Structures are given as C-alpha cells and as structure tokens.
Amino acid sequence: MEYDVVIVGTGLAGLTTGLLLTEKGYRVLMIEAKPFVGGRTASWDEEGMLVESGFHRVIGYYKHLPSILKKAGINLNKIVAWEDVMDFRSPR
C-alpha cells in the first residue's frame, strides 16, 4: 500500500496529526518504536495492573484536547473535570 504521509511517533502530537490527516482523506502510516501508542500519555496492562503514564499531567494544559478526544470517539467527561484556568504557584 502507498501512503501520502508517514508519521514517526504516536504520542499526542502524532496521534492528533494522524487523526486530522485521515479525516481529510490522506493515507497515513504511523510508526511507533514502543509496543503501545500514546507516548508519554500512554496506559498499559502490566501483570493485571493498569499503569497510567502522564495523561494526568497533560490533560489540563491543552485546551483543544477535549475536542480532539471527542473526534477520536473518546469520552472522558464522566471521569475528568475540565478546567478553563490553570494555577501555577512558586514557593518563592
């Protein structure tokens, strides 16, 4: 099969780019070195225990993430509270 675009890495940026390009009709090949997708925001089963890696850290930083997840058919509304404002505090 021939592809219009090759995306290396399936973190948030790679997955989002792949989603948007396929919606526009491009044939996309995604390449990932790890045995799972998601990059720093992945989750996987390790000996029966679900391991979350990073999603909790980035979920509030990207204001377009809810609409991207919705496009991908992922609904987190029952488990995630979205905030419009982020509060950063320094100990100084």
pLDDT in tens, 4-58: 999 999 988 999 999 999 999 999 999 999 888 888 877 778 899 887 777 666 6
Q: Tell me whether residue 10 is in a domain.
A: yes
* Domain hosting residue 45, numbered range: 5-71
> Do the beta carbons of residue 22 and residue 28 sit within 8 Å?
yes
Q: Tell me whether residue 21 is in a domain.
A: yes
- E strand or H helix at 23, and its extent? helix 12-23
Q: Tell me whether residue 14 is in a domain.
A: yes
Q: Tell me whether residue 65 is in a domain.
A: yes
Radius of gyration of the chain (CA): 16
Q: Tell me whether residue 66 is in a domain.
A: yes
Q: Tell me whether residue 83 is in a domain.
A: no
Q: Tell me whether residue 18 is in a domain.
A: yes
Q: Tell me whether residue 81 is in a domain.
A: no
Number of domains, the chain? 1
- What pTM, to 2 d.p., does this model score? 0.68
